[in-house]
């Protein structure tokens, strides 16, 4: 059995890197997915659009379904085995994408990528379980920057690698980086895991059954869904919106990638501060501030007149994310029973995936009715609904 004195700071640093690479792995293809599929066969515009949408959504849909299973197994057998399963599987699957010769092969591998999800949720659960209670907010804040910043910066990194070396090298390099995360997790991540003893034939609880704080936890799941939906609603139309704001630019894709990455830059810079502040004044206050700030920022984005204003406002969205996402992780850790903490974080990942899928769908639908600026009005409304739900769910904590 592992020594009782687990180095939680070492765990945190290694898992941050793993979360960062996992985030990149899920998002690095987005800038060029349609272009890459166009090289894989003689597809017309409609076929390319359909295949691109399927390839983009595939891992998130599967992750939404299978994440609770991995959480259940983690609580039964330990979080580290699930980390190793996920990181090794993703390394092989993502690296294999460099070898595909048809759109369907890419889609199948993206589906498998979703099957091998669970690194991020189990990293969160392990850190929450092994970190001293007084440091959970700070640790959750730092850890959440890995996944979110990787997801947001991934498109820029993927686009840059594709421009320099070609599309296929993006998958090769990401796969190698994920294998590094696997090896680091093998040798430098440790946990004190003691499985909960259950009587033979005893029925295991599912979802939040039997948890006294179920209402709070479910409220955090919904908050995660809304955060991801509002963040990603702009994804399908960002490059088109940039083109509308700066029609004479010759680097639309690069500009859009940089603007999207600004969100992640803000997350990395500011999230640890909010994590520490939450430990001092209470996570509830940080959560409310983050949502109010996001409502204000999304509304102002409706009136952006140039790419500089859009970039500045997306940076401000990153500040609201820095307040929101670490706080949700900290509250999940605080209100989850230790013996089911992996299940809780895995269900949260399912809701996160649902937001990743529904956000772009909402954005694409709204732009047909209200134009590009209408997307930000809809996003503001979603954030306001999120605030109402949070205020209702947090009443039970007083």
Which domains occur in the chain, in start order?
8-192+212-397 (1.20.1250.20)
Alpha helices in 78-166 (DSSP H): 79-96, 103-115, 119-130, 136-165
Averaged pLDDT, groups of 10, the chain, 398 residues long:
65 90 79 78 78 82 88 86 93 94 93 89 84 77 78 78 83 90 91 68 67 87 91 74 79 72 80 79 87 94 90 91 85 83 85 86 80 88 91 71
Give the residue among 269, 267, 21, 310 at the shortest CA–CA distance from 157. Answer: 21
By the 8 A CB rule, do 332 and 348 touch? yes
203: left (phi over 0), alpha (psi -120 to 50) or beta: beta
Tell me the residue length of the chain. Answer: 398
By the 8 A CB rule, do 159 and 253 touch? yes
Give the residue among 383, 187, 167, 164 at the shortest CA–CA distance from 292. Answer: 383
Q: Which two tokens stand for residue 264?
A: 């992640």
State the DSSP string of 147-178. HHHHHHHHHHHHHHHHHHH-HHHHHHHHHHHH
CB contact set of 288 (below 8 Å; sequence gap of 6+) = 387, 390, 391, 394
Distances (CA, A) of 395 to 182, 287, 290, 293, 320: 41, 13, 18, 21, 22
Burial of 350 (0-12, 13-18, 19+ CB in 10 A): buried
By the 8 A CB rule, do 325 and 148 touch? yes
pLDDT at 182: 93
pLDDT at 3: 45
Q: Rounded to 5, what percent of the chain is helix, strand, coil?
A: 85, 0, 15
* CA–CA dist 285, 76 (Å, integer): 34
By the 8 A CB rule, do 242 and 372 touch? no
* Cα 178–chain centre separation: 16
């Amino acid at each position: 059995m592992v020594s009782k004195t687990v180095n939680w700071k070492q765990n945190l640093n290694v898992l941050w890197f793993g979360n960062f690479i996992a985030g990149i792995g899920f998002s690095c293809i987005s800038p060029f997915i349609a272009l890459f599929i166009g090289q894989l066969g003689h597809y017309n515009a409609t076929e390319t659009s359909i295949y691109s949408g399927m390839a983009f959504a595939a891992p998130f849909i599967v992750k939404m379904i299978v994440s609770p299973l991995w959480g259940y197994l983690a609580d039964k057998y330990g979080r580290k085995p699930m980390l190793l399963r996920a990181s090794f599987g993703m390394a092989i699957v993502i690296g294999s994408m460099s070898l595909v010769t048809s759109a369907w092969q890419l889609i199948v591998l993206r589906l498998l990528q979703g099957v091998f999800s669970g690194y991020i949720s189990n990293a969160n659960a392990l850190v929450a379980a092994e970190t001293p209670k007084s440091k959970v907010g700070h640790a959750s804040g730092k850890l959440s920057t890995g996944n979110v910043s990787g997801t947001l910066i991934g498109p820029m990194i993927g686009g840059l690698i594709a421009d320099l070396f070609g599309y296929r090298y993006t998958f090769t390099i990401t796969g190698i980086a994920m294998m590094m995360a696997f090896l680091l997790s093998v040798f430098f991540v440790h946990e004190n895991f003691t499985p909960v003893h259950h009587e033979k034939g005893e029925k295991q609880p599912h979802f939040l059954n039997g948890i006294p704080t179920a209402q709070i936890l479910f409220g955090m799941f919904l908050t995660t869904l809304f955060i991801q939906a509002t963040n990603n609603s702009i994804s399908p139309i960002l490059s088109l919106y940039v083109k509308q704001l700066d029609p004479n630019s010759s680097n639309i894709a690069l500009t859009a990638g940089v603007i999207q990455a600004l969100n992640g830059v803000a997350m990395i810079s500011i999230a640890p501060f909010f994590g520490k502040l939450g430990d001092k004044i209470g996570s509830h206050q940080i959560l409310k501030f983050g949502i109010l700030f996001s409502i204000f920022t999304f509304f102002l984005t409706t009136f952006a007149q140039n790419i500089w204003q859009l970039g500045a406002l997306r940076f401000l969205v990153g500040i609201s994310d820095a307040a929101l996402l670490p706080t949700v992780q900290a509250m999940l850790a605080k209100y989850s029973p230790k013996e089911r903490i992996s299940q809780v974080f895995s269900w949260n990942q399912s809701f996160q995936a649902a937001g990743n899928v529904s956000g772009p769908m909402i954005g694409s639908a709204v732009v047909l009715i209200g134009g590009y600026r209408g997307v930000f009005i809809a996003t503001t409304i979603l954030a306001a609904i999120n605030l109402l739900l949070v205020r209702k769910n947090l009443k039970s904590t007083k």
